[in-house]
Amino acid sequence: MNLFAYFHDKIAAEIAALGFDLDTSRMSVEPPRDPAHGDVSANAAMVLAKGAGMKPREFAEKLRPRLARLDHVIVAEVAGPGFINLKLDNAFWYARLGEILRAGPAYGDSTAGQGRTVNVEYVSANPTGPMHVGHGRGAVVGDALAALLHKMGHVVVREYYVNDAGAQVDALARSVHLRYRQALGETVGEIPDGLYLGDYLIETGAVLARRDGKKWLGCPESEWLAPVRDFAIEEMLALIRADLDLLGIAFDVFSSERRLVRAGAIEQAIAELEQQGLIYIGTLEPPKGMLPEDWEPRPQTLFRSTAFGDDVDRPIKKADGSWTYFAADIAYHWDKHKRGFADMIDVWGADHGGYVKRMQAVVNALTHGKATIDVKLCQLVNLSDGGQPVRMSKRAGNFVTLRDVVERVGKDVVRFVMLTRRNDQTLDFDFAKVVEQSKDNPVFYVQYAHARARSVMRLAAQHFGANEIDAATLSRGPLDLLADADEIALVRQLAQWPRTVEGAAQMHEPHRIAFYLHEVAASFHALWNKGNADPGLRFVVESKRDLTRARLALVQAMAFVVASGLKVIGVTPAEELR
RNA sequence: GCGCCCAUAGCUCAGAGGAUUAGAGCAGCCGCCUUCUAAGCGGCAGGUCGUUGGUUCGAGUCCAACUGGGCGCGCCA
């Protein structure tokens, strides 16, 4: 249960019961910034007083006595310009604790998404080589976002768009053909400009040589290009899938650009736009201040994206008459919508930022405003090792790959660290730091809290029968023995989890989960240490079995919430850290 | 030149238009292990929320301009 949504409904009902017919959707019910102000804070009076023809404080005073009589409310106060703050009794928090224990790691699951379909497209790295660390960030952000939306009750499809139709896969084919000739004993010398240099293609060329022998030697490119390209793309996708697998990421759908092109999807999409009068032939102004060397005015086929707030209209055909990448992307996003997605989320690298407006324009036009598209731009990842920057020379083909990083520090560390910044902030990733076992390291810190909780449960198992301390039994236990203010505060914090999930899902901000978990872990570590100072506050007090079981309930609930959050992030909760 | 993103403590960053007192972590200083993992915790100190205006009963949060940084800017994807 999202307790704030619960009180929102209760308060709305009381407003209706007072005889007001007001739109309560603008009313927010939230935790007050200062806990001293209570547990729940509503701005109802400020938002609604005008419609009721009253002053905010007057409205609040009228509502206050009714809210004071609600179940579990011990105090209702009017504060400041007209906030109504509610303080809740401990019984309310004991009920939440029981709820967490019954739900387990499913706590926080919501039906708020109402089964509405969401397509999350992420990674979509060109199938020309192994993934690098920047791709890894997008992969984690997209995957966690998908998990979050799923937890919210959305039907989520995780999708990878394979750019297998452009010039870069031809360059790939030529590069592989070169390595293939090399594998068959030819001396190829310097790799020509425009081809891929990476050593990983040596193996790909050798595999092709083993499979097809000398079949592609001595014949014109027109004969070998297509088959070698198909082979190379398959090989590269296999490479990428293996990299993703290391991170525990699997996609539901791989969408092929080439297939769309072949099916005539571009022509169809452009025809639709044409029908709306959004396609025309025109000449673009040169970009000011940054003039390309060979600039000359040229009439082009353009999409009128300025009609939807873009800065200039965008070309959909190249000079040679072939479609631009943008044209294919138009078809692709229309295809997504036609496959039944009302909402689309694309996770891109920040270098694609200039592309966002035109994509939104297209989706807007093609779906007549019925579909939404949100683009999450991920900023750069700066790799370093003990403070020294790690060079990532892609040109030399020996750059640090995602695989290198995951193999060195582990999947869990990579996934968590990628979410310790908002997606639009650059992220520093230091090898030495992220494997450090200290409170410097948020991954470790959160894992340590979970491991500590499991350790307590293991210890407790020595004093209790297993059936006395399972979650279901603990949930029925005498929870009202929890009386320490910090214990109640932890329950209160755990009870914020459903709201945290809903907020992060609505805002498409998975990093909030990582920050929330860090806060929960901090509270738990603090509580643990109170047991060091005062043995009476330790979780396991052998002489007081009922009190111990009440505290074990709290410990177990904390572990469940952490596990629930780590599941969204895709990190395995640690049973112990040794 | 134009567009997008960013600017919060010495450093790295959170912050869902709300109320006196803007929060974490690191770094600094002072404390806490005969005790479930001290791989941790408590305390002190540290801020004109880049600048200037505007909207509002109320702005770190919304709007505008400016300053500084990142990314991008027809026939790459």
Chain A 428-457, CB < 7 Å to strand B: 428, 437-440, 444-445, 448, 451-452, 455-456
Q: For strand B, which nucleotides have at least one atom less than 7 Å from a protein CB?
A: 1-6, 12-16, 18-21, 23-26, 32, 35-42, 57, 70-77
Q: What is the mean pLDDT of residues A76-97?
A: 90
Per-residue flag: A301 CB under 7 A of strand B: no
Between CA A235 and CA A370 the distance in angstroms is 38
Is the pLDDT at A203 greater than 90? The verdict is yes
Identify whether the C-beta of residue A259 lies closer than 8 Å to the C-beta of residue A166: no
Residue type, A18: L
Per-residue flag: A529 CB under 7 A of strand B: yes
Is the pLDDT at A5 greater than 50? The verdict is yes
Chain A 266-285, CB < 7 Å to strand B: 283-284
Q: What is the mean pLDDT of residues A412-439?
A: 84
Which are the contacts of A477, defined by CB distance < 8 A and separation ≥ 6? A546, A549, A550, A553
Instruction: Pick the closest to residue A236 from A180, A135, A139, A162 (CA basis).
Output: A162
| Residue A496: nearest nucleotide (C-alpha to C1') | B16
Structure confidence at residue A395 (pLDDT)? 46
A38 pLDDT band (50/70/90 cuts)?
Answer: confident
Chain A 114-173, CB < 7 Å to strand B: 126, 163, 165-168
pTM of the model: 0.94
A434 pLDDT band (50/70/90 cuts)?
Answer: confident
pLDDT mean across residues, chain A: 90
Left if phi > 0, otherwise alpha if psi is -120 to 50, otherwise beta: which for A152?
A: alpha
Q: Which two tokens stand for residue A517?
A: 């978990």
Chain A 205-244, CB < 7 Å to strand B: none
Question: A254 by DSSP, 3-state: which?
Answer: strand
| Residue A293: nearest nucleotide (C-alpha to C1') | B74
As a whole number of angstroms, the longest Cα–Cα distance in chain A is: 91
Question: A244 by DSSP, 3-state: which?
Answer: helix
| Residue A576: nearest nucleotide (C-alpha to C1') | B37
Between CA A170 and CA A153 the distance in angstroms is 42
Is the pLDDT at A339 greater than 90? The verdict is yes
Q: What is the mean pLDDT of residues A77-105?
A: 91
- What is the distance in angstroms measured between the alpha-carbon CA of A310 and the sugar C1' of B73? 13
Between CA A523 and CA A516 the distance in angstroms is 11
- What is the distance in angstroms measured between the alpha-carbon CA of A1 and the sugar C1' of B19? 28
A439 pLDDT band (50/70/90 cuts)?
Answer: low
Residue nearest to nucleotide B57 (CA to C1'): A81
